Structure 1
Amino acid sequence: MLKFRWLIFVTIVAVSKTTFANLPETIKTVQPSIVGVGLYGKLNRPSARFLGTGFVVGNGQYVATNAHVIPELVPSDKKQNLFVVVGKGRNPPTRRAEVIAIDEEHDLALLKISGKPLTPLNIERREVYEGEKIAFTGYPIGSVLGYYPVTHQGIISSITPIVIPARTAKELSIKQLKQLKNPYLVYQLDATAYPGNSGSPLYLQDSGKVIGVINKVLVKSTKESILSDPSAITYAIPIKYLLPLLESVRNKTN
């Protein structure tokens, strides 16, 4: 009987260690595909400004991020250039970037980067459920302490509408009214993201496959505008809304 109990104990410990080991291995695989997104201008002070996080997708020459991360002045202002930070450290290598596709409704953007292709993250195409263990990696406080990716973990706590109808029409903004015409679901997480995390990939702990894009602006501005103080809840846009952008880029290059 004692031997049997000991066998059960050893098995439980072994399974626990294996489960715990999944996330460290996943982070190691995901990190090389995480980039910082910034804006450079000779006349800017400082000359380089951190904007948010992005991650490599597609053929390794594209970076996904939030649309709100990208300044509107970039397409017409030749004195300033977008760039992405590749690697870790105080002064990691950078690549020039340009905007090639934007989806304002879902707050998503695709950038094309210069140089050799990087390692893209895999995208999970199956349905995702509440309670699944997730993680996201990005730059929560920008470049203040150097470009060292930070990972947060948690679960999908809810799959919820991006906007909740208000008690009266007066409580709805123009943006909310537009969202109510074409509502869609987003992921609500029990892990806290910060402004610099905008554009970070939300991925499954065991596989590293991306299921969403962390969003710190669009969802809160529509879902929580009635609150006097925004909550600490973190949301993510489902990855399925990025797929049309990738497909449109592939069609242009074929």
Structure 2
Amino acid sequence: MHASVLITFFIFSFSTVAALPDTISKVKPAIVGVGIYNKLATPRAQLLGTGFAVQISSSSRSNIVATNAHVVPAKLVKDGKTQFVVFVGTGKNPDVRTATVLTRDSKHDLALLRISGNTIPTLGLATNTVREGEEYPFTGFPIGAILGLYPVTHKGMISSITPVAIPARNAKELSVKQLKQLKNPYMVYQLDATAYPGNSGSPVYHPQSGKVVAIVNKVLLKSTKESALTNPSDITYAIPVKHLQQLINNTL
């Protein structure tokens, strides 16, 4: 009996691991960089975060991109040259697409964009229940695109399903925004994975189906914002995908 259970568990675990490389290959074409672009500036491109094309209908292609609300600039320099854009493709010369903000949900830190040009491959949204102890990959651009646009995949376990406020030793360490959230908090996923500022907006997805279960939106800092790169905490937070689905339903 025990041997049978162990063999079944081993086969399931192996199939999940074996499927991940294929899933990553399918996911990467839907991953985009979100940033600003000025062809006369140095550097011309500035990556602010990650996004992904969302499957809106039965079509597997779309020009609708999801990302974090905090990735979208509050305002741009009005010089007639700086554009809010999405970078499509990989390598040193990605396709630069102008982007329009369709809507923002500041409470859940989500935004929907419409990009110019042809549609691109999409990711579907999952409906399954996420449980503590399950492992999920996420793909994005953790440390920018100085050498080009090359998506990076990390993997982490859902270590907790917890209220949205970042833990603090006492109330004095909580910001006004966090104190407001504590009055009516929603639940987010905490992963034991290392994410970086550029991962904001990265999809967290099922390792076999590639369907999105959450969107990375922040990391727990050990000290200052600058330490996020040099001394990461290995604690990452992600917004459950149901909030993105609600935003899509209310917007499109």
Superposed CA deviations along residues 63-100 of structure 1, whole A, max 9, x for unmatched, are 11111111111497754211111111111222111111
Q: Distance in 2 between matches of 1:11 and 1:157?
A: 24
Is 1:202 aligned to 2:199, yes or no? no
Q: Distance in 1 between matches of 2:123 and 2:194?
A: 22
Q: Cα offset for 1:169?
A: 4.7
Is 1:27 aligned to 2:24, yes or no? yes
Distance change >3 Å, CA 160–CA 117, structure 1 → 2: same
- TM-score, normalised with respect to structure 1: 0.83
Distance change >3 Å, CA 93–CA 29, structure 1 → 2: same
Give the RMSD, CA atoms, in angstroms.
3.1
AA aligned to 1:205 is P
Q: Distance in 2 between matches of 1:44 and 1:67?
A: 25
Residue number in structure 1 paired with 2:37: 40
Is 1:51 aligned to 2:48, yes or no? yes
8 A contact 1:58–1:246 mirrored in 2? no
Q: Distance in 1 between matches of 2:209 and 2:201?
A: 19
Q: Distance in 1 between matches of 2:8 and 2:185?
A: 46
Gapped regions of structure 1 (runs ≥ 5):
none
Superposed CA deviations along residues 85-128 of structure 1, whole A, max 9, x for unmatched, are 11111112221111111011111111100112111101012221
Residue number in structure 1 paired with 2:73: 71
Q: Distance in 1 between matches of 2:134 and 2:170?
A: 35
Residue number in structure 1 paired with 2:88: 86
Superposed CA deviations along residues 228-252 of structure 1, whole A, max 9, x for unmatched, are 99833111111111112211221xx
Gapped regions of structure 2 (runs ≥ 5):
57-61
Residue number in structure 2 paired with 1:145: 147
Aligned residues: 240
Q: Distance in 2 between matches of 1:52 and 1:165?
A: 24
Distance change >3 Å, CA 15–CA 241, structure 1 → 2: closer
Q: Cα offset for 1:58?
A: 3.4
Superposed CA deviations along residues 8-34 of structure 1, whole A, max 9, x for unmatched, are x99998666533211011101101100
- TM-score, normalised with respect to structure 2: 0.83
Distance change >3 Å, CA 130–CA 13, structure 1 → 2: closer
Instruction: From 151, 155, 158, give the equivalent of 2:157.
Output: 155
**Same amino acid, percent of matched pairs:** 57
Greater C-alpha Rg = 1
AA aligned to 1:47 is R
Residue number in structure 1 paired with 2:59: none
Q: Distance in 1 between matches of 2:34 and 2:218?
A: 15
Residue 242 of structure 1 aligns to a residue in which SS? helix
Q: Cα offset for 1:204?
A: 1.2
Superposed CA deviations along residues 177-225 of structure 1, whole A, max 9, x for unmatched, are 21012101111111211111111000111211101111126xx48xx99
Q: Distance in 2 between matches of 1:110 and 1:87?
A: 19
Residue number in structure 2 paired with 1:172: 174
AA aligned to 1:143 is A
Distance change >3 Å, CA 42–CA 13, structure 1 → 2: closer
